[in-house]
Amino acid sequence: MKNLTADELRDKYLKFFESKGHTIIPGASVIPENDPTVLFTTAGMHPLVPYLMGAMEHPAGTRLTDVQKCVRTGDIDEVGDAAHLTFFEMLGNWSLNDYFKKEAISWSYEFLTEHLGFKPEQLNVTVFRGEGKEGEDGYIPADEEAVEIWKSLGIPEERIFRLPREDNWWGPAGTTGPCGPDTEMFIDTGKEKCGPDCRPGCHCGKYIEIWNDVFMQYNKNEEGKFVPLGRHNVDTGMGVERTICMMSGAPTVYDTEIFAPIMAKIEELAGLGSSSVEVGSGSEKGAPLNASDLPLNDANSPLKDSNEILRAKRIIADHMRTATFILCDPKGSVKPGNIGANYVLRRLIRRAVRYARMLGIGEGFTVKLAEVICDKYSHVYPELKANLEQCRLDLEAEEKRFNATLDKGEAMYKKVAEQLKLHGQSQISGKTAFKLYDTFGFPLEMTIEMATKDGLTVDKEGFDEANRKHQELSRTTSAGSFKAGLQDNSEVVTRMHTATHLLHAALHKVLGPTANQKGSNITAERLRFDFTWPEPMTAEQKAEVEKLVNEWIQQGIDVSKKMTTVEEAKAEGAMALFGAKYGDQVSLYTIGDVSKEICCGPHVTNTKELGSFKIVKEQSSSAGVRRIKAVIGNMG
Ligand code: SER
């Protein structure tokens, strides 16, 4: 393998595809235009959808190649492991109804082996195994054509894996649009198999996906059906960070030359030595490449564990890179704020600030890191330099604002802790933790972190309870309309509450009445919903649920609330948590004829306020119980 820099890789890739008749086109903005279904550009295909659909001809022809800035925050909790990032660059080559599988796969193989120097035996590939029965509705054949092409290139049967739609299907970017089966290329890191079923896509970290060739032959229509597109497009995406990581043999993406100056700056600011260890355990799509542990100089840090320090550094590096690219985007339309994309940006910056404080990094670091990121990238993305001044101002303001909040909160926390100790107590009550959060904007996680350091515990359940009561109250006193003074979190959380009811109703419609709620948990980033169901949902079922929820959102249905008794509510057909204890009077929330649920609330007044809805994960929670994680978009 060659040890290329990201600059060399981009250059090599674009030149290679230019030599195959492609025109190099500029990548698009990370902020999508007029599209409420996504907050950010998540893949290279996204800006090209009209051309892939054949709605218009691309001025640069039918063979295109580019580098696309992508932002994906669905896996934000996984950031800090070996391969997850909220921002990444994607190299792409495109056939707009021009060449198809044979050329796409052969060129991928040629580029990987002859130009990047991967050994053919390191390569493992997955292909779509098909679904349904021939002649029946919904039948999509297996991609045996791709299998044959891989074999003709010398990839043996045992390194070709036929997987279901869950693994080997891409798209569409929004709820409808072009999509199709794909073939994904994985590098075998040479690690031990995690078990007898270890294979590409099992996420244990042995196989790392670096490239995906999508054959866009289908369109997902309004009814959620896959209909032939009447065109044969190719959309490929190669991740720059992961490829560089695999080529250099670095244990994680943060140990590549891409992140080197950013990590070095963080270490300098924190007064820490450099390090290279693995964090976390296996996770979807990207998994640890190495599992070792190195000691760090953490004398000044409230984080005791070296893994925690490492994770904090990575989160800061990742989040600040993403924030810098968003703030410097030529569109300039996303600023730290409380709704949609603005809120995502705020969370990224604030999360970085929190982790920086834990590492003892002082105020002003966001701008310093943005400068390093700008230095590293502006020759490729001149917008970074052009918009750095504005980015600086925005970062400074947000960091100051949040630090002031945290300072005040910390001071209050200290008083609380002193009082407790004075009285020989060791637990911070939920009410107090909530007061710190609600009155001083001090995040619960910070209270917990500081309490842990002081040998105290925090009543988290009590916090949730206080939070719920407060939201109920705010809801009532604001007479159905939100006041600007509410905590930024609570507005999002309220919208998530309503989204949860719609999701529950949609699951009943799609899976039937046995898909019953087992529990739910809402944060400002996502909603989580557990329900009884014996097997993984199919891709169609998920698509159908998403579609229904989005339709209800679009319909702008009013949400009403009344006080009643459990019996009366049940008599009206209301859903309730089986086995839950309710008081004499309960709130019954009704969303048109879509949903009726007993719930403490709070809820929005109209479903339109949710913007859009997307399932980001569907996984097993426990035996017979599935878990959905979903997000809502902007206000559209
Ligand atoms: N759209 C596909 C992906 O993002 C290939 O570019 O993986």
Higher pLDDT, 625 or 181: 181
Taking residues 304-327, report their average pLDDT. 93
Residue of 171, 186, 207 lying closest to 127 (CA atoms): 186
DSSP-derived letter for residue 613 is E
Q: Is 516 in the pocket of ligand 1 (CB under 6 A)?
A: no
What's the mean per-residue pLDDT of the chain? Answer: 87
CATH T-level fold of 6-248: BirA Bifunctional Protein; domain 2 (3.30.930)
Q: Is 178 in the pocket of ligand 1 (CB under 6 A)?
A: no
| pLDDT of 304 | 55
Confidence of residue 313 (pLDDT cuts 50, 70, 90): very high
Q: Is 237 in the pocket of ligand 1 (CB under 6 A)?
A: yes
Residue 298 confidence (pLDDT) above 50: no
Residue 581 confidence (pLDDT) above 60: no
| pLDDT of 494 | 82
Q: Residue 182 C-alpha to ligand 1 middle, in angstroms?
A: 9
d(CA 484, CA 490): 11
Give, in degrees to the nearest 5, the angle at Cα 18 between 16 and 21: 120
Higher pLDDT, 100 or 588: 100
Q: Is 170 in the pocket of ligand 1 (CB under 6 A)?
A: yes
| pLDDT of 518 | 82
Q: Measuring from atom 2 of ligand 1, which residue has the nearest CA?
A: 237
Taking only the tens place, the pLDDT of each residue in 110-153 is 999 999 999 999 999 999 999 999 988 889 999 999 999 999 99
Residue 407 confidence (pLDDT) above 60: yes
Least confidently predicted of 10-14, 245-249, 538-542: 538-542
Domain locations along the chain: 6-248, 259-400, 491-632
Percentage of the chain with pLDDT > 70? 89
| pLDDT of 565 | 82
Q: What is the DSSP secondary-structure string of 538-567?
A: PHHHHHHHHHHHHHHHHHT-BEEEEEE-HH
Q: Is 174 in the pocket of ligand 1 (CB under 6 A)?
A: no
Which residues contact residue 604 at a Cβ distance below 8 angstroms, ignoring those fewer than 6 apart? 494, 495, 498, 559, 610
Residue 605 confidence (pLDDT) above 80: yes
The answer to whether the pTM exceeds 0.75 is no
Residue 300 confidence (pLDDT) above 60: no
Q: Residue 220 C-alpha to ligand 1 middle, in angstroms?
A: 16
Taking residues 304-321, report their average pLDDT. 91
- Amino acid in position 262: I
| Ligand 1 atom nearest 70 alpha carbon | 4
Q: Residue 235 C-alpha to ligand 1 middle, in angstroms?
A: 7
Residue 248 confidence (pLDDT) above 90: yes
Q: Is 226 in the pocket of ligand 1 (CB under 6 A)?
A: no
Count of residues for the chain? 636
In CATH terms, is domain 491-632 a member of 3.30.870.10?
A: no
Q: Is 92 in the pocket of ligand 1 (CB under 6 A)?
A: yes
